[in-house]
Chain A
Amino acid sequence: MARPASPAFGANGTPPIVVEELSKTYKVTDREGGFGAAVRSFFKRKFKDVRAVQRVSFQIGQGEIVGFLGPNGAGKTTTLKMLSGLLYPTSGSAQVLGYTPWERQAGYLRSMTLVMGQRNRLAWDVPAADSFLLNKAIYRISDDEYKRSFQELDDLLELGPIIRKPVRNLSLGERMKCELAASLLHRPSVLFLDEPTIGLDVGAQSRIRAFLKEYNRRNGATIILTSHYMADVVALCERVIIIHHGELRYDGGLSELSRRIAPYKIISVHLGGCDDCALESYGVVLPGEDETGKKRLQVPADQVPAITARLLAEQPVQDLTIEDPPIEDVIERAFNEPLRN
């Protein structure tokens, strides 16, 4: 398994997040549909073990932003919930900032945050400003600190008048901004973000991304982020951890993942006056053309210079571009193919 050589270390010499052999098995009742099955299960319940997370280990250094990827049900949220103290693991250990998360000590809860894109932490019927002030009291933020924190968040997120409207009247994008602000007023040094951009439009997504990057830069915060939007991952994470069926599949650089999983590039060519030029001899012709009529060839990365030269010499090339394979494809492959160590 690829690991970054040395995660950045915190003040006391250990990385802020250390996870060892962490596992979580849920016991769920198992029964078929229908009345008969319902009656039977009333008398004799059958349980099934669901292994949500299996012996996952990793370390994350201070100030890192790590993308936590996997298909639905892979165990991402379960892991984040264990790390934020909401779930007891079945076995294994974790230390975050020197605390065991599920002991839920006040000192730990005061220095981390978990943001779930689909959950609402703000009081629904009153303006977000009221929830901010409550958090100020709960996290014991001094007046000066609060002023600075709020100013900074207002700067980055342009909260402006939206914090004075009742939360239930906000748009999804506006609410998400307020959620993030409320979760960060106490300047946590560890952030767990579960789908922070879910359901947002492209503009709002990119603003949230820019904000997270800037927050990370200013505060040196350590961030684990899950997202189904690859644009989030590409923009924020140099390192990704992939889990599938609860097992760790890859831990390393995003660009290295591309090289290992998909060691090929896409050459798009626009040919003048040639409908069927036997491009098969240069590489795998991908089905379809793009909107400008370009044909797309998939070629091994190490042969790109040679094939490009041949194409230019032998074909009436009007335009040619070389691209990396789309990140969605790479991730999709990483989920499905066993990785070589």
Chain B
Amino acid sequence: MFQIFRRLWALNWAEQWQYRANLLMYLLFWLVAPIVYLAVWTTVARTQGSVNGLTASDFAAYYMVLLVVDVLTSQITIHVLAPEIQNGNLSNRLLLPVHPVLTQVLVNNIAFKALNLIALAPIWLALYLLFRPALNLSVLYLALAVPALVLAFGILFLLGAALTLVAFWTTRVWALWNFYSAVFMLFAGHFVPLALLPPLLQTIAKALPFSYTLYFPIQLILGKLAPQEVAINFGMQIVWLALACVIFRVTWRAGVRQFSAVGA
């Protein structure tokens, strides 16, 4: 298995590198939203002194960490897999004695992430100098963030893949994807830190997986969580990872069956 990942990595890295201009455009497009929120909230906090106890510097810290956490945990499976399903190219991958999503698509996501991080670094540094966030990082929380980020990526990767598999049944999977993304942005803490949401929305956020994949790692890195909260959030991550596994497995089986019923 290690050999497969090594070869896939070499191949995907080379391929992504061919499309580096493309990738940079994607990154810049994706950066627009968080930077706008960052600018808006720091301005609001500065004029009012603070919003619900959060200062301009707190907002800056939140969004600066969000940028990194989001690159590390987000996934682009729909862009890779949906076209393959729709044009029938997935057939080629189904002929191989390995799971196409858990090998090829997974490594593709990771290679994309790695290149994105490299491109993000100088931009992040420039933003840091501009906004001067209040970042008090501790080694302990950063160490705890590693498993939190891995679990978060696992959850989002499997859920994103399961959603992409809807392409087996309908060509309108992109509409569904846009809806999913909007729900994610709201309940993960993208638009605004979850603590500022109305209580009802906060309750909904707790029932959905997204806050555990973005808001939790950010708060963990910022050192805002009590030990008990950290434990509960890790617990929820594990529950959601297990659920995501089941959802993915069921969709995959049904999808491949559908694919091979109508003509691959």
Contacts and interface: CB of A to CB of B under 8 A. Distances in A.
A137 B97 contact: no
Contacts of B15: 123, 125-126
A227 to B, nearest CB: 20
Contacts of B103: 138
B7 A137 contact: yes
Interface stretch (B47-55, B229-237, B255-263): B255-263
Interface string A99-129: 0001010110110011000011101011000
A238 B11 CA distance: 41
A37 interface: no
B74 to A, nearest CB: 23
Interface in B41-74: none
B89 A134 contact: no
A167 to B, nearest CB: 11
B10 A88 contact: no
Contacts of A87: 260-261, 263-264
A138 B92 CA distance: 13
B21 to A, nearest CB: 13
B3 interface: yes
B110 interface: no
B254 interface: no
B91 interface: yes
A81 B97 contact: no
Contact of A104 (B3, B14, B94, B262): B94
Contact of B4 (A123, A130, A134): A134
B260 A86 contact: yes
A322 to B, nearest CB: 46
Contacts of B132: none
B95 A130 contact: no
A109 B257 contact: no
Contacts of A130: 7, 10-11, 14
Contacts of A125: 14-15, 18-19
Nearest to B1: A137
Which size bracket describes the interface of B in this complex?
Answer: 20 to 34
A48 B260 CA distance: 18
B102 interface: no
A85 B98 CA distance: 14
A88 B257 contact: yes
Contact of A123 (B6, B11, B95, B96): B11
B8 interface: yes
A131 B97 contact: no
A138 B98 CA distance: 7
Interface residues of A, number: 31
A279 interface: no
Given A88-B261, A119-B91, A121-B92, A138 B97 contact: yes
Nearest to A168: B18
B262 A26 contact: yes
B260 A133 contact: no
B163 to A, nearest CB: 23
Contacts of B19: 125
B13 to A, nearest CB: 10
A49 to B, nearest CB: 13
B7 A84 contact: no
A125 B260 CA distance: 28
A319 B98 CA distance: 63
B175 to A, nearest CB: 16
A106 B94 contact: no
A150 interface: no
Nearest to B262: A26
A169 B98 CA distance: 28
Given A125-B15, A126-B11, A86 B264 contact: yes
B7 A134 contact: yes
Contacts of B260: 86-88, 102
A211 interface: no
Contacts of B95: 84-86, 109, 113-114, 121
Contacts of B3: 136-137
Contacts of B91: 81, 86, 119
B4 A137 contact: yes
A121 B261 CA distance: 22
A120 B89 CA distance: 8
Nearest to B104: A134
Nearest to B258: A88
A81 B89 contact: no
A121 B10 CA distance: 17
Given A87-B264, A88-B260, A134-B4, A119 B89 contact: yes
Given A81-B263, A123-B11, 13 more contacts: A26-B262, A84-B95, A86-B264, A88-B260, A106-B98, A109-B96, A125-B18, A126-B15, A126-B18, A133-B7, A133-B10, A134-B11, A136-B3
Top 10 A-B residue pairs of the complex, sorted by shortest distance between their CB atoms: A109-B97, A137-B3, A106-B97, A134-B7, A86-B264, A137-B4, A137-B7, A121-B92, A125-B18, A87-B260
14 contacts: A27-B262, A85-B95, A86-B260, A87-B263, A88-B257, A109-B95, A114-B95, A119-B89, A120-B92, A126-B11, A133-B10, A138-B4, A138-B7, A138-B96
Interface of A: 26-27, 78, 81, 84-88, 102, 104, 106-107, 109-110, 113-114, 119-121, 123, 125-126, 130-131, 133-134, 136-139
